[in-house]
């Protein structure tokens, strides 16, 4: 086993990768970066939304990587962590939503503003991620049955474009980061579909991760 494979198989390593972006905002706040301190809430809101989008794109790219490169051991190693990455995307989205709630200053404005398509799509994304997180436990997989569980978890293919739409509207002008986060995963998914059409027998059936 190469060191890369050992590293990416390691649960501890993946945990560190996932937790670090959550600690990152401490850095500009500690060194008193005036641009961040000017509106810290906005900064935190955008930062956690950004991390949630990256993790959502990351978890979606794991299965296509395995299908497209079945002999690439790092892709296989990474696929051990699908549940962890997926649940952490939900967790960052939850923190993002909590900051949005603070940003809106409470329930009354939260509920009037949620009607705007930009915020509504963000909320829908969150609700889908919530459903997927709740059904991510092993006993939920058993209780629902594999097929039904898989169908529910296909909702992630709805959540991702919604998240991209939401992120694209989050700034005054179109933020280019949306493209480098979501275009690669779209390309991977497209390549995977083509691959599975061409060689249906060779394609492994994506099974729920037991991580």
Partner 1 sequence: MRIRTPKEWEIRESAVTPESVYRLRNRRDFLKTLGLGAAGAVFLRSRVLGAMAGLPAAVNPDYMGAGLKVTPYELVTSYNNFYEFGTDKGDPVVEANKGWKTEPWTVEIAGLANNPGKWDVEDLVKKMGGIEQRVYRHRCVEAWSMVIPWDGFPLRKLVDFADPKPGAKYLKMTSFADRQRDDDAGFGGPYLEGLRLDEARNELAFIATGIYGKPIPNQNGAPLRLVTPWKYGFKGIKSIVRMEFTTREPFNTWQHLASDEYGFYANVNPTVDHPRWSQAHERVIGGGVFSGRQATLMFNGYEKQVASLYQGMNLRKNF
Binding site for partner 1 (CB under 8 A): 29-42, 44, 102-105, 109, 112-113, 116-119, 169, 171-173
- Distance, CA of 200 to CA of 195 (rounded, Å): 8
Q: Which residue has the tokens 């991702």?
A: 160
CB of 43 to partner 1, least distance (A): 9
C-alpha to C-alpha distance for 187 and 45, rounded to whole angstroms: 28
Task: Check: CB of residue 100 under 8 Å from CB of residue 45.
Answer: yes
CB of 142 to partner 1, least distance (A): 42
Q: What is the nearest approach in angstroms of partner 1 to the Cβ of residue 90?
A: 23
Indicate the residue among 86 and 122 with the shorter CB distance to partner 1: 122
Closest to partner 1 by CB, 53 or 133: 53
Least distance CB 182 / partner 1 (angstroms): 19
Listed residue (138, 184, 144, 140) closest to 160, CA to CA: 184
- Cα separations in angstroms, 176 against 39, 90, 116, 189: 22, 23, 22, 20
> Nearer to partner 1 by C-beta: 64 or 122?
122
Structure-token pair, residue 162? 């919604």
* Choice between 173 and 198, CB closer to partner 1: 173
Nearest approach in angstroms of CB 118 to partner 1 is 4
Choose between 7 and 98: whose C-beta lies nearer to partner 1: 98
CA pair distance 168, 89, nearest whole angstrom: 18
CB of 27 to partner 1, least distance (A): 13
Q: Nearer to partner 1 by C-beta: 27 or 33?
A: 33
Using CA atoms, how far apart are residues 191 and 185, in angstroms rounded to an integer?
10
């Amino acid at each position: 086993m190469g060191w890369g494979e050992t590293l990416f198989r390691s649960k501890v390593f993946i945990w560190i990768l996932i937790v670090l972006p959550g600690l990152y905002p401490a850095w500009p706040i500690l060194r008193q970066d005036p641009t961040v301190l000017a509106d810290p809430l906005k900064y935190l809101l955008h930062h956690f939304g950004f991390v949630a989008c990256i993790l959502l794109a990351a978890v979606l790219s794991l299965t296509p990587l395995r299908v497209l490169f079945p002999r690439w051991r790092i892709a296989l190693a990474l696929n051990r962590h699908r549940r962890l990455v997926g649940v952490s995307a939900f967790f960052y989205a939850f923190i993002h939503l909590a900051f949005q709630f603070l940003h809106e200053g409470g329930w009354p404005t939260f509920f009037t503003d949620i009607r705007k398509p930009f915020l509504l799509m963000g909320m829908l994304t969150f609700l889908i991620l919530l459903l997927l997180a709740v059904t991510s436990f092993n006993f939920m997989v058993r209780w629902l049955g594999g097929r039904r569980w898989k169908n529910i978890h296909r909702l992630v293919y709805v959540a991702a474009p919604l998240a991209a739409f939401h992120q694209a509207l989050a700034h005054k002008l179109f933020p280019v980061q949306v493209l480098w986060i979501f275009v690669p995963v779209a390309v991977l998914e497209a390549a995977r579909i083509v691959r599975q059409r061409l060689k249906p027998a060779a394609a492994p059936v994506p099974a729920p991760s037991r991580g």
